[in-house]
Amino acid sequence: MDAHASVGHAELEIPYNVHPRPDTGVYNAKLGIWLFLASEVMLFGALFSSLILLRTGADSWPRGYDMLNVPLATFNTFILILSSVTVVMAWSHLRLGNLLKGRIYISVTILCALIFLVNKGFEYSHEFREGRFPKTNNFLAIYFTMTGLHGLHILGGVIVFLYFLGPGAKMWAHDPERYTNRIEVVGLYWHFVDLVWIFLFPILYLM
């Protein structure tokens, strides 16, 4: 409470910040994140379209399974799916009023994300050692661009989760519902990031 009391005066009460508006059924941030995800669909959609256009226009197209590490990427896929489950667990424990378990599951989610990023780092450094760079050919160009952008999204998620694990968790003391909402919203984002990978993995590695 004390941290917020000092700025509490300056902050305006915005309606439906925490509780859903009856006629729309959502609170503000939930609608906001869905809209943001819609724009993300357009961003990755444009990149997937570019990939299709480049591939259909190319005389020959390298296959991902010939040069990329498919087993490691499969492992990464499962890690990300696991992290999607743990973020839901975190949210449901917070809904039940258990901050400790909520935090444990947030930590597991962060751990999964970091494992994913480290594996990605191994993959990248392997490619570079083999002399395969974005400029080598258009397959590698789109591979590095899309997985790089996806990796940045993962990194962004990790930073947000770390914030909610640490300083952001203070909100639990005075507004647990709002804190739970925040985890729900970042969870929606996290599911989207996973979903992008679910598309990236077969298209870049298996097809």
Partner 1 sequence: MGLRRQIRVGSQWMYADEAHRALREALRVMDDEHGEHGGHHQSWIRRYVFSTDHKWIGIQYGFTALCFLLLGFCLMILMRLQLGWPGQPFGVMKLLGATRAPGGILLPEAYNQLGAMHGTIMIFLGIVPLAVGAFGNYLVPLQIGAPDMAFPKLNMASYWCYLPGGLIMLASFLAPGGTAQSGWTSYPPLSVIASQGQTWWLIGMVFLITSSLLGSVNFIVTIVQLRAKGLSYMRFPFFVHAQFVTSFLLLLAFPPLEAAAVLQLMDRVAGTSFFLPSGLVVSGQVLTNAGGGNPLLWQHLFWFLAHPEVYVLILPAMGIVAEIIANGTRKPLWGYKSMVFATVFLGFMSFVVWAHHMFLTGMGTTISAFFQTTTMIISIPSVIILSSLFISLWGGSIRFTTPMLFALAFLPMFGIGGLTGLPLGLAAADIHLHDTYYVIGHFHYVVAPGTIFAMFAGIYYWFPKATGRKLNEFWGRVHFWISFVCINGIFFPMFAQGLAGVSRRLYDGGMQYQHAKQIAAQTNPFMSICAIGLLAAQVPFIFNFFYNAIAAAFGHRDEGLGSNPWGATTMEWAATTSPPLAHGNFEVLPVVYRGPYEYSVPGSEVDFIPQHQPTAIEPAPRGGLLPEKAVAMREN
Least spacing, CB of residue 184 vs partner 1, in Å: 16
Of these, 18, 31, 88, 115, which contacts partner 1 (CB under 8 A)? Answer: 31
> Cα–Cα distance between 161 and 111 in angstroms, integer?
11
Least spacing, CB of residue 171 vs partner 1, in Å: 15
Question: Is 155 a residue that touches partner 1 (CB under 8 A)?
Answer: no
Nearer to partner 1 (CB atom), residue 53 or residue 96: 53
Q: What angle do CA 102, 151, 41 make, to 5 degrees?
A: 85
* Interacting residues of 112 by C-beta distance below 8 A, sequence separation 6+: 79, 80, 82, 83, 86
Most distant pair of Cα atoms in the chain: their distance: 65
Least spacing, CB of residue 57 vs partner 1, in Å: 6
Are the beta carbons of 91 and 103 closer than 8 angstroms?
no
Question: Is 22 a residue that touches partner 1 (CB under 8 A)?
Answer: no
CB neighbours (10 Å) of residue 11? 8
Question: Is 159 a residue that touches partner 1 (CB under 8 A)?
Answer: no
The footprint of partner 1 (CB under 8 A) covers 7, 9-10, 12-17, 21, 24, 26-29, 31-32, 35-36, 38-40, 42-47, 50, 53-54, 57-59, 133-138, 141-142, 144-145, 149
